[in-house]
Structure formats: C-alpha cells, structure tokens
Amino acid sequence: MRQVVPPIPIVQKILGLQKLTEGVPYRLTTHCIRVEQPEGVLLYHTLTGELLLLSREEAALLEELLSPVPPALEAMGPKWFLRPVEADDMALADQVRQIAERFKKKEPALTKYTIFTTTACNARCFYCFEAGWESSTMTEQTARDTAAYIAAHRGGKSVHLEWFGGEPLVNAKAIDVITDSLRRQGVAFRSTMTTNGYLFDEALVRRVKDAWNMELVQITLDGTEAVYNARKAYVNPTGSPYQRVLENIGLLLDAGVRVKVRLNMDMDNERDLYTLIDQLAERFGKRPGFGVYTMVLQENAGIDPHGYTEEERRIYAEKSKAMLAYTEMKGMAAWTPLKRKFAVNACSADNDIATTVTPEGRLGRCESCRNDAIWGSIYSEERDEGVLCQWRERKPPEAACRACVVYPQCIRLKKCPGWPEHCSPIERSRQEGKFQRAVLGAYEDWKTAGQV
C-alpha cells in the first residue's frame, strides 16, 4: 500500500488516528472513490482527502473484510478508510464539518469578483438561464468605480476577476477600463472568463494575455458545425460562427491561455457531441492547456423551462458518464485538482471573499441570479445582512446522501437555482466523475514525480 496524496491537515488534526478494536467487524468507508489502474487500485477518501494505491492482492482482501482485519490492511484503520460495520459515516463527516467551520477565518477582504460587463449577448441559446433578463451594459464610469471598489476592499491581497455576462466580450471596453485602472493602482490580479468565444481576434487575444492577465477561458460548444450554428443562433454572424470559435480557441492556446470547452448535452445533440469530440481531439487534443467536459442541460431554464422525469435523469447520468470516459480515452478530459482544504463553502455564493458585480455596480451573491441576490453596492458600505444570511442557508441532507461517496465534500445552498428540488442522478454522476478524474490527475502527477 502506498500513499499518493496525504490527508488534509485540518481533517487529520480533527480526527486524529482511528484505533482498530479487536473483535469488531470492519468494512470500507462509504466515503471512498475507487479507481482501477493497471498497477493496482486507487482509493480516495472524500472526508480525509487521502489517496492510497493498493496492490491488486490488497484490494481483493477488501472484498471479504470482516474481523479480524488482515495484517496487509491494518494500516488503513488509523487512516479512517476502514470503519466498524455499524458506524455512521455520515455523522462522522457532519462532526468534522462542524468543527472545521469553527476554524473558518472571518475574512473581511473581498478578493474574488464575478463581473457582469453586460447582460447582452451576441448569441441566442435556447437554454440560457438568463432568458428574459433585461439587457444592461456597464458604462465606463461604472467600470472605473468598480476598479476603485476592488482596490479598496481587497485587504492588500491579489484578486481573481471572473468575466461573465451575457457575453462579456460584448463589452470588452469595461474589461480594459477595470484592468487598466487596477494596474495603475498596483493591484495584482488574474482573470478567467466564461464566453462563447466568437468575438476574439488576434489583437484582442494579445490584450487578453498581456493586459487582462487571463489564465483560463471557458467556451461552450453544442455540436459540430451545422448543429452548433443552429443551436447558438448568433445575431448577424459573418461566415460560420463555429469555424470562427475554433480558430479563436487556437489563438488562445497559441497565446498560452488555457481553454476549457464545455459540451452542453441533451437528447438531441448527444450523438453529434461524440463526432465533435473526435474533431476537437484531432485539432487540439495534443495542445497543452486544452480540456473538455460535459454538462447535461440544466432543468427548468431557458425559453422553454421544463424538468426531467426520473427516468430521463437516470439516462442522462449514464450518458454523461459514458461521454466522460470517451473524453478521457481521447486524453482531453478537463479536471480540477483535488482540494487540499476541507470544503466549508458551497460556492462563491456563500463565500465571504466573493461577490458578483452587476452592470449597474450592484453587488450580488450568485452568478445565476439577477435581482434576488443583491446584498450591496460599489457605491455604499451598507450590507444587506438578511440577504447574506439567506445565501448561507443549506439544504438538509436527503435520503440519498447517506450512501453517497461525495457527501463530505457536497454542500448545497437552499437558494441555489442550479439544483433541482431533490438531488438527481445527473448531479451524483457529475460529482463522482469529477472526483474520479481528479484522482487520476493526482496519480499521474505522483507518477511523473517518480514515485512509482
């Protein structure tokens, strides 16, 4: 048995070492992601954050584990991978979370800004969650005022700017103004962006890299050329938008900006997305910084909002799992590294260091909400504590959480518009896929460092 990634220090401190008790039957913890590899089996503990590599023989012993624990697996006991058969793993995760939250820093500095340069968009995706939003665009003055607010509220720290919209590039001027102003004030910053990618060109990509400090751009593709052009329905396009977006992905990668392509899947485009993956693999598959991930179209959003049946959710979960396996096989699966901190926030919406900024300079909690998440303004120090409290409220666990491997790292907010009323197989499959990919990434890094 080898340790690939050590446990998260704060969890190790809270839990200490578990003692095995003689005569008590043991089993593998519920909170374990298992990934088969040619060299053995990887086990990732979603509560402690530790990743182990077991030989095939050791992994086989786990199958019939009872009492006493075989000597080859005894070391897994103190690491909490083995639990008494009767133990409540969910309660253990809850206890750790309660204690970890007491260690959470009270952080007055705002260092993460999701900035809506505009809510206007040059495409008309039928599934957009902003369908029906009134269009508004940030003025140059508001952009200057936004930069001044950021400089005054960052607590001397560097900031992360996420450019969002609408289509953020419809108002690239606001990005120029904010980044120029921050630079003149000596504020260190880095940028990421969610965009359809259509409006880039060579000159803009130079600015993106050198002036906007862009690290990562997320671009959505819905299918191959004809499917993409039909589903995106650009306003007054010149030539084929699909070809233009692909060229722009190439320009961004040439400039050293990472590109993550999001494939939005529904029943209509699923087969076509496989062809798209093949085309992307051929064109960008070997480029450093390029990755792809799949998302099932969100329920109850867009111009024709509707939910899925439970059967549709099950089918979608299977389909997105299969597509993840295909992108992995093509060597293009985008992944986020395993967290080395214990999760005490769901997302930016309940994180004190983060805020959204609307085109009018209002401060909000959630990037998917327009008016019901506003807690302040760049023009005032007043805070609506009621709104801030509402966005910290969590959904209670559901029956499915008890057996869910990702429970220790899954926090859901009551007000999150992205979650259906009950957790869906789509979300469970997405979470598991995310961890499996991250486990593989950590293992690849470990091997590259010469540990195997």
Q: How far apart are CA 179 and CA 156, in angstroms?
A: 17
Q: Name the minimum Å distance from CB 375 to ligand SF4.
A: 13
Q: Name the minimum Å distance from CB 159 to ligand SF4.
A: 18
378 versus 404: smaller Cβ distance to ligand SF4? 404
Contact in structure between 113 and 159 (CB atoms under 8 Å) = yes
202 versus 398: smaller Cβ distance to ligand SF4? 398
118 DSSP 8-state letter: B
Strand 51-54 versus strand 40-45 pairing type: antiparallel
Contact in structure between 439 and 338 (CB atoms under 8 Å) = yes
Q: Name the minimum Å distance from CB 417 to ligand SF4.
A: 5
Compute the residue count for the chain. Answer: 452
46 versus 248: smaller Cβ distance to ligand SF4? 46
47 versus 205: smaller Cβ distance to ligand SF4? 47
100 versus 249: smaller Cβ distance to ligand SF4? 100
Q: Name the minimum Å distance from CB 398 to ligand SF4.
A: 6
Q: Name the minimum Å distance from CB 405 to ligand SF4.
A: 8
Token pair 């060109």: residue? 201
**Given the rule CB under 6 A, which residues bind ligand SF4?**
346-349, 366-368, 398, 400-401, 404, 406-407, 410, 412-413, 416-418, 423, 427-428, 431
Angle, alpha carbons 387-389-390 (nearest 5°) = 65
**What element of type H or E holds 355?**
strand 354-357
Q: Name the minimum Å distance from CB 107 to ligand SF4.
A: 18
88 versus 201: smaller Cβ distance to ligand SF4? 88
Q: Name the minimum Å distance from CB 424 to ligand SF4.
A: 8
Task: Give alpha helix (H) positions in 156-309.
Answer: 172-184, 202-210, 225-232, 241-254, 270-284
Q: Name the minimum Å distance from CB 199 to ligand SF4.
A: 24
Burial string for 34-44 (b: 16+ CB within 10 Å, else e) reads ebeeeebbbbb
Q: How far apart are CA 211 and CA 189, in angstroms?
A: 10
Q: Name the minimum Å distance from CB 397 to ligand SF4.
A: 6
223 versus 408: smaller Cβ distance to ligand SF4? 408
248 versus 294: smaller Cβ distance to ligand SF4? 294
210 versus 393: smaller Cβ distance to ligand SF4? 393
89 versus 427: smaller Cβ distance to ligand SF4? 427
Q: Name the minimum Å distance from CB 273 to ligand SF4.
A: 23
Strand 112-116 versus strand 354-357 pairing type: parallel
Q: Residue 26's closest CA among 50, 58, 79, 62?
A: 62
Q: How far apart are CA 24 and CA 194, in angstroms?
A: 52
Q: How far apart are CA 193 and CA 174, in angstroms?
A: 14
Token pair 């609408």: residue? 166
Structure tokens at 19: 């003692």
What SS3 string covers 259-283? EEEEEEECCCCHHHHHHHHHHHHHH
What is the residue-wise DSSP string for 422-444? Answer: S--HHHHHHHHHHHHHHHHHHHH
